[in-house]
Each structure stands twice: as C-alpha cells, then as structure tokens.
Amino acid sequence: MFENDTLSFARRLIHEGQGRVVEVERASTVTRLLWTFVWFSIVAVGTNAYGSWGVWPGFNIVGPLITLLGLLGMGAVWIVPVKHHVALENVSFAAAVLAVLMAEGPVLGATGFFSTDAAAFNQRATELLVGGKNPYAATFHPAHLLLDHVNDFWTYTLNGGHVDKVSYPAGSFLLQAPLQILGLRHLGTNWLDLLAWIVAAIILFRVSPWYAKWLSPLLLLASMFTYMFTFGGTDALFVPFLMLAALRWDDFVVPSGPRWQKWIGPVSLGIACSIKQTPWFTVPFFIVGIVIEANHLHVPVVRTVSRYCAFVAGAFLAINLPFILWSPSAWLRGVLLPMTQPLVPDGQGIVSLVTHGLLHVVHPLDLQVAGLLVMAALLAALYFWYPLLKRSWMFAIPLILFLPSRSLSSYLVDFVPAAFVMALTTHRVPEALVSTPRTTLRRWAVGVPVALSIVAVVFAFSSPPLTLRIDRYGSSADNQYMSDMTLTFTNNTNATISPHVMVLIGSGHPIGFWRPSNAARRVTLRAHSRVTVTLEPPKYMGAPKYHQSWLVEVLTKSPAALTTTHVMRWRFGHRNN
C-alpha cells in the first residue's frame, strides 16, 4: 500500500506511458492481495479459536468475533481508497495483535501446566532468584515444576539421566524477575514470551519499508511462531534483541550519526546472547561484517572491532556477572551444559533420519563437528562474497543448526524475524571488497569445509556400537499401556558398554527410560557379547494406537551414540471403524 511519496512517484510514472501505468496498477493489486492474506490469517485464527471452547467457554463468542473482524478487513482492503491505506495498514497490524491476544491469552489463563521443561525451569529459577537463592546451584525436582507428567518433558541424556539444572545464561530468567515481583506467577514464562513475540512483531512493523509492512502481522499470525512462542518456546525472549542487533548493524562503523545507533546493535546482541546460547552463532558473522565494513570505510579495524566486541561482552556480563561472582563453577556448568552434557539426539534436522528409523545409528559428536565445519564455510562465504551476502547471511544460520544432533524446530526458525530486519534495513552494500581474492581461493575456502562436513555426516551415521533385536513386546489394560519388552543386544565394540532404552511413538517425545525387570539397575554388555533382557516400561507409558509407527532407541554414553530399531507398526488394539 502506498505512502505519499509513493503516490507522487506513481503519478510521475503515469506521464511516462501506459506501460508504466499498468505496472503501478499491478503493484497496487499485489499489495492489496498481500494485505488481504493478512486479514485471511486473522479469519483462520478466529476459526481455530472457536475450536478451543472446551478450554474457555468464552471462545464461543471470541472465535466468531475474530472471524468477523477478519472478514470485514478482507473487504476493507479493496474498498478503502488508496490515500487511507497507510491508516488501514496500522489498523490491520493492530487487529493482528488483538487477534493473537484474544486467541492465546485465555488459553494461557486457563492452562495450569507448562509444556516444556525450559519454561518450567525458567519459572523455577525466577522464583529462586526472587527468594534470594542461586538458581544455578539448585537441582530441579518434579515437585518444584509445573509440568503435567514430568517424564514427558525432561531433556534426557545419553547416560540414562536427565537435565535437572539451569542450562541457559542468566537473562533467560533474570528478565522475568520483574513480573514475578509484581505478582504474575501463573505461567510467567509463557506470558513473557508472548509479550516478547508481540514486541518483535512491532519492531518488524516499524522498521519495514512500506512495501513490506505486511510481513510483520503475517509472521505474528503464523501458527508455528505464535504457538511455539506462547506455550513453552522460551526462545521468543531473545528474538526482539536479535532483531535490534540486525537493525542497520553496519552503522556501528560509520563515523557520523547519533551515538545510540552505534551501540544499540552490539548491546542488543549481548543481551540476546545472555538469554540463550542460540544467538551465539551469529556473533562471528557480525564480527566478520564489522571487519569488512571498517576496511571498506578506511577506519581503524582493530579498534573498531574491539569496541564492537566490548559492547557485546559488556552487555552479556552486565546480566551474568552477579551469577558468575555468586558461584563461578555453577554458572559455567549451567551455561555450557548443552555443549558439554551428552544430550539425547532429537529434532527436525538431519538427526531425524535416525530418530525416525530411516537410518539406525548416529554419533552426536560427528554431527556437531559437521555443523561447525558448515559454520566455517559460511563465514568464508560471507568474507569472499560479502556484497552478495551482507543482507542475507542470517537466513543461512539455520543451516548450521540443521546438522547437530539436537536440531529442534525452534532453532531452525528463530532467526527468521531478525533476518527479515537485516534484509529490509541494510542499504549500504559495497559493490566490491577492497581486495578481491582469486576465484580458486574463494572456492577452496568454502568447498573444503563443506566437503569435510559431508565426511563427518557419513561417519556420524556409520558403525553402530551395538545391534538390536526386539524379541517380544505387548500391551496391558486393554491396550492403554505398553507392557514388558524383551530385547537382545549385541555389543559390536571392544569395550564394555551400558545401553539405556527408550521408546519413541510417532512424532512424540521419548518418555523415560525402560529398566530391567530383575534386580539389576542397568544392562551391561562386555566386549562383543550378546545379552537378552526383559525391560519394564516407565510408569504410565501409553501404548501406540493400532498400526501406529514406533521404534526403540538405545543410548550409550561411551561410545556416545544413539541406535534405533527399524520402524515397527503396533499390532495391538482395534481398527478404527
């Protein structure tokens, strides 16, 4: 939709020929179509909200009301004159925010439990902090967490345990403390995440040029983002800060301009990094960009990069330093836990080839190495093809996180809002670098780490440490629960290993470890030995539905690996008529 300067431009085009007039009309039509789709998405929110009447009876009114609002907006896009379309854009965005609040707010208010351990841990950590206790020194027990059937939500480890301590930087719960102090204790983490996601949408709407304003409400209304960032997706808290870090980030190098435009980017990046580890992957790319920009504008490179890094580190330390001083070892153990603990492979990345039974073994460390090699290749590509990638490199960050053994869906979409901000607000792109390396060098710098990452992936899916065979399985309570299962393990290695068994049903989350039915607490296999063991399921281990896919996962810490069986079809229960 057109602002005043765009209208003037359109009028000038009219005098240049009929062909230009047609192009203007097409642009106007395309823009109207995009905003129509925004209002159509509001209609979808309304129809989905109506289906939640069992959670809150008020949805019997709210659902149709949101739907009606969307239908009226779809008509208004085509009826309201062009000169009022800027106002209509603002109304459209406000309607999108209102629809999200009306659809998600009552559900949050009626929900009594968290749906991720990350959200529950943040809530508990905030409670401990407000109470004067160090969250990093605490062990989290099921009784302390608002989790329904806690076994469904633990983050499990390869050694047969689960994560029971804070595993994020301090910003993940410190920024929630004001809500806790003000008395918002009911699922405070989820409310803060919803607020952060709306703030992120506001930032994108404000910084977008006229032709891209529709992006913000459309992302806000997208079910993937809104559901994930409302019900346990704690990544939402760092998204606004990462967007500010990407907003005209190269202005830091420009000698002129307001000072706040120079420090707001690196400070926001430091805050984002103090909330989760995920934004850490963007820091090297920002630094490479600052180096190139400083060279291009002939400003002192070392001093400029040092100042940028000082702002990033300063913001990070301002939030984390109290906890570092409180207990250095506890803080370091918690912040580095995702990198140092052998967490169970999981996610929607390449590891799903194994967790869904297409391949049958994965060595997590090899996938981590593959991800780092891809990161090195992308950094080299940014340096050598900087004019091409300056606006778009953040869209490539999910490629790094697609490869590691834990590649949850949030890791693959978290960067999209900030990437849009970068693409839409970066205007000063140099046509060429100060010195352009030879094409052969550029290709080798990118091609070698990519080739090595492929080798690492091949190794990751090779050489299973053990072989599995399911001898017997069954159900109980009229197929409501799984019963004992007998497995035969064959150790393919020269060392003694201790396997830990889980069962994955459909696309669900593994629910606890299976234990030997005899007195032994764990299964032990000597080198090249074979053992047949009967295992008992975790408590309340629900059975698959008839003909539903399931498989057995076996985890070993040494060697660190996940081995799976072939995909099975559940043969108990009754067919659906």
Whether residue 402 is found in the same domain as residue 414: no
Whole-number Å distance between alpha carbons of 515 and 533: 10
Whole-number Å distance between alpha carbons of 51 and 55: 9
Q: Are 204 and 417 in contact (CB under 8 A)?
A: yes
Residue 53: what pLDDT? Answer: 83
DSSP designation for 157 = B
Whether residue 402 is found in the same domain as residue 320: no
> Which residue intervals of 357-415 are DSSP H helices?
364-384, 386-389, 397-402, 409-413
Token match 């869904």: residue?
Answer: 356
353 lies in some domain: yes
Give the type of residue at 552: V
State residue 314 phi and psi, 5-degree precision.
-60, -45
State residue 183 phi and psi, 5-degree precision.
105, 0
Residue 112: what pLDDT? Answer: 83
Residue 45: what pLDDT? Answer: 94
Whole-number Å distance between alpha carbons of 322 and 355: 40
Residue 347: what pLDDT? Answer: 92
Extract the residue ranges of the chain whose pLDDT is less than 50: 1-5, 9, 13-16, 18, 434, 577
**Residue 332 neighbours by CB distance under 10 Å:** 14
Domain boundary residue among 49, 77, 110? 110
Q: How many domains does the chain have?
A: 4
Report the sign of the C-alpha dihedral through residues 461, 466, 471, 477, in that order.
Answer: negative
Q: Name which of 115, 134, 114 is nearest 174 in CA terms.
A: 134
Q: Are 36 and 43 in contact (CB under 8 A)?
A: no
Whether residue 295 is found in the same domain as residue 220: yes
Whole-number Å distance between alpha carbons of 324 and 320: 6
Residue 551: what pLDDT? Answer: 96
Residue 500's DSSP bridge partners are 555
Whether residue 336 is found in the same domain as residue 381: no
DSSP H helix total and E strand total for the chain: 23, 13
Whole-number Å distance between alpha carbons of 332 and 425: 36
Whole-number Å distance between alpha carbons of 98 and 340: 42
Q: Mind listing the pLDDT tens digit for each residue in 92-136?
A: 999 999 999 999 999 888 888 888 899 999 999 999 999 999 999
Whole-number Å distance between alpha carbons of 530 and 553: 18
Q: Is 202 exposed, middle or buried (0-12, 13-18, 19+ CB in 10 A)?
A: middle
Residue 377: what pLDDT? Answer: 97
Whether residue 238 is found in the same domain as residue 326: yes
Cα angle 241, 318, 197 (rounded to 5 degrees) comes to 20
577 lies in some domain: no
Whether residue 183 is found in the same domain as residue 213: yes
Whether residue 339 is found in the same domain as residue 359: no
Full residue range of the structural domain in which residue 555 is found: 466-569
Whether residue 256 is found in the same domain as residue 319: yes
* 559 prior amide bond cis, ω within 30: yes
Residue 427: what pLDDT? Answer: 84
Whole-number Å distance between alpha carbons of 140 and 566: 35
C-alpha distance from residue 313 to each of 274, 283, 347 (Å): 9, 11, 30
Whether residue 141 is found in the same domain as residue 260: yes
574 lies in some domain: no
298 lies in some domain: yes
Whether residue 443 is found in the same domain as residue 373: yes
Residue 24: what pLDDT? Answer: 59
Residue 259, C-beta contacts closer than 8 angstroms, at least 6 positions apart: none
Exposure letters 159-176 (e unless 16+ CB within 10 A, then b): ebebbbbbbbbbbbbbbb
271 lies in some domain: yes
State residue 468 phi and psi, 5-degree precision.
-115, 150
Q: Are 74 and 32 in contact (CB under 8 A)?
A: no
Q: Mind listing the pLDDT tens digit for each residue in 235-248?
A: 999 999 999 999 99
Whether residue 227 is found in the same domain as residue 275: yes
575 lies in some domain: no
Q: Against a cut of 0.75, is the pTM above it?
A: yes
Q: Are 273 and 280 in contact (CB under 8 A)?
A: yes
**CATH code assigned at 500:** 2.60.40
The tokens for 298 are 């002939």
Residue 50, C-beta contacts closer than 8 angstroms, at least 6 positions apart: 59, 60, 63, 64, 67
14 lies in some domain: yes
DSSP designation for 114 = B
Q: Are 237 and 172 in contact (CB under 8 A)?
A: yes
Domain boundary residue among 53, 78, 110? 110
Whole-number Å distance between alpha carbons of 333 and 126: 18
Domain boundary residue among 399, 423, 447? 423
Whole-number Å distance between alpha carbons of 485 and 552: 10
163 lies in some domain: yes
Whether residue 269 is found in the same domain as residue 181: yes
